[in-house]
A and B are shown apart, each in its own frame.
Chain A
Amino acid sequence: MMSSADSGFGLVGWILCLFTPVMLLLGLSVGPVPIDSQQLLQILPFLFTDAFTYTTGLDPAMAGLHTIIADIRLPRTLLAWLVGAGLAISGAAMQGLFRNPLADPSIIGVTSGASLGASVAVVLIGGGGLNLFTDVEQWGGLSILVTGAFIGGLLAALIVYRLSTGSSDHLSSSQTSVATMLLVGIAITALAGAGNSLLAYMTDNETMRRISLWNMGGLDAASDRRVILAACIIIPAVLLLMRFARQLDAMLLGESEARHLGVDVQRIKWSLVVIVAFAVASSVALAGVIGFVGLVVPHMLRMLIGPGHRRLLPYSALAGGLLLVAADIVARIVLSPAEMPVGVITALLGAPLFIILLRQRRDYGMY
């Protein structure tokens, strides 16, 4: 029998790798204007060329499809993929840090904190009269958005961790309190909600629309710039988080046990919280509030491959990307030609699982 400690890439990993390009292509072809595989294959080689160059000497009707794919579906699908990967691996890392499978960034308030930070940034950029940048879609505007979300998310993560694990130098902190963690998450979510409403109330209609967009999850705002910015933050975050696999395994034994195994617990905590805050903040700032991805994906993977992080972390990133691209496809077609916010789909998937997990919490020694 193979031990799950074997470091090789397992069957589940290969399946995920195989499905990723399939799902990405599906994300390009499914939508209000259906594009079949033949058309897709014709367009794909010219994806990164200008529509006019592409249509030279070809059917002009294809130019329209080229535009749909290159300008709308490609950025959207890639953004969904990146954000899904970032949220899922963040969830897996947070659950390791909290030694608790319920610690999803959206449940413990990190996502809400980030959305409040993003809202404040929006108001500063546009509605607050400061007019730092005329357009939030410029590089500067997007960077401020991400920075605002990062500060909000980081603060929320620190507050939750601090309150639910007790003072950090004390031994009794080896157990995190689940109840406290969830309650602090509720408090932060409520606070962020109030802050968001207050900001929406105080600012103009355009800003208000943008703020409410975040709370639903808005992949439809995807643009080349957003994809590039998301890639610049989420890909390094995923690669960095994967380096903590061993330490996270040890952390599951308990904080003091991890220290006895040579893990610099304090440093790991800080690194993880900062990296996760970055990944979550960029996804909130660029694609809105999308909940439960970090809960659903690691949970299903643990049932398949066990809790070891050496596989759980990379697989979570792969499966999270897959899941969000799939959810986005569903969001595009169920109410076609209208769209559902993708956050609604993930919540419909995640909230029932969350309730089931709450019922099973005794299995995880949580009260």
Chain B
Amino acid sequence: MVCINMIHSQQSQESQESRIIFDAVSLSRDGVEVLSDISLALQAGTITALLGPNGAGKTSLLHCASSVMACSRGRVLLNGADIQSFTPPSLAQKVAVLPQQSGLNFPFVVEDVVAMGRYPHSDGQLCDRAIIHNLMDLLHIRDLAQRPYTALSGGEKQRTQLARVLSQLICSPQLDVYDNSVLLLDEPIAALDMPHQTLLMNLLQQLAAKGLTIFIALHDVNLAATYADKIALLKAGHLIAFDSVSEVITEAMIKQVYDIEVDIIAHPKTAKPLVIPEV
């Protein structure tokens, strides 16, 4: 199996490197400012969780990072270059995006949907097939390979889309990832049951360890606290905090952003903060 672009050597230096930099990004839509002056840097090989109440601007920030929307002010840098300067094919080789919802209404079979993630690359059919099959195994959709997408349940659809998006960044069946690549996920776990939520988050951690940079919008604060390396807190288009989990997940911070009273205890095993809403 011949796969190019494998990442082995520079992993140690890479952990210091910024993969995506938001440089004073503001975004206006229909005259309303939905993002104001946001600056943050996503370190290579880390998981950064994006938290905030509904309408805080999480999706808009992801849109800026995937170049779907051009920021009104400021800029987004991918590997040091302005993201707007990438052509769609060159961007697709570095950045994969899972949108909040996908409206595929044509009965492609699951395997074909997953295979679409390989479009930006040309590593040969054997390599592609091995990657696709391995991802379908990992996400428990191998049995559904020949089922039409339109006949799947919500969770199965979500796992199919996840496999498609992941296959865009993975270059070998051993889950090696392409150099300098970034995964943007908008609420990927909403439709998943608990075992699959854990499965996905563990898989993401594994990929981050291989050098993938992950930016993930979440509603579940505890999941973010457990798996993320850093957390960005958004409220009404402003970046309230961007720091390590223990700095961001505090009673005061949660009160400020979500406007609810919570108790925070230490997780009995991981000692990570665990948020419990007050009754």
Contacts and interface: CB of A to CB of B under 8 A. Distances in A.
A254 B99 contact: yes
Interface string B136-164: 00000000011010100000000000000
Contact of B99 (A99, A252, A256): A256
A257 B99 contact: yes
A155 B87 CA distance: 29
Contact of B108 (A101, A257, A262, A306): A306
A225 interface: no
B273 interface: no
Given A3-B109, A256-B68, A262 B119 contact: yes
Contacts of B108: 249, 252, 306-308
A162 interface: no
A175 B93 CA distance: 25
Interface residues of A, number: 33
Contacts of A308: 108, 112
B91 A262 contact: yes
B87 A264 contact: yes
Contact of B103 (A175, A262, A265): A175
Contact of B102 (A4, A253, A363, A364): A253
Interface string B185-209: 0000000000000000000000000
Given A254-B99, A307-B106, A259 B68 contact: yes
Contacts of A262: 88-93, 119-120
A254 B97 CA distance: 12
Given A261-B117, A261-B119, A262-B89, A1 B146 contact: yes
Contacts of B99: 174, 254, 256-257
A365 interface: yes
Q: How large is the interface on B (under 10, 10 to 19, 20 to 34, 35 or more residues)?
A: 35 or more
Contacts of A99: 103, 105-106
Contact of A5 (B66, B91, B96, B112): B112
B163 to A, nearest CB: 13
Contact of A250 (B111, B119, B145): B119
Contacts of A171: 63, 68-69
B70 to A, nearest CB: 8
A364 B106 contact: yes
Given A307-B108, A308-B108, A363 B68 contact: no
Nearest to B29: A170
Interface string B57-93: 0000001001011000000000000000001111111
Interface in A248-302: 249-250, 252-254, 256-257, 259-265, 302
A243 interface: no
Nearest to B89: A262
B187 to A, nearest CB: 15
Contacts of A1: 146
Contacts of A261: 92, 116-117, 119-120, 168
A158 B55 CA distance: 33
B107 interface: yes
B105 A306 contact: no
Contacts of A302: 106-107
A101 B105 CA distance: 10
Contacts of A263: 88, 119
Contact of B97 (A3, A260, A365): A260
Interface string A346-367: 0000000000000000011110
B104 A254 contact: yes
Nearest to B109: A4
Contacts of A363: 105, 150
B254 interface: no
B69 A246 contact: no
User: Which of B88, B111, B119 is most buried by chain A, counting CB atoms within 10 A of its CB?
Assistant: B88
A205 B157 CA distance: 60
The 4 closest A-B pairs by CB, nearest first: A262-B92, A307-B106, A262-B89, A365-B105
13 contacts: A1-B146, A4-B109, A171-B63, A252-B106, A259-B68, A260-B92, A261-B117, A261-B119, A264-B88, A306-B107, A306-B112, A308-B108, A366-B105
Interface of B: 63, 66, 68-69, 87-93, 95-97, 99, 102-109, 111-113, 115-117, 119-120, 145-146, 148, 150, 168
Given A1-B146, A306-B107, 4 more contacts: A5-B111, A257-B97, A262-B120, A364-B106
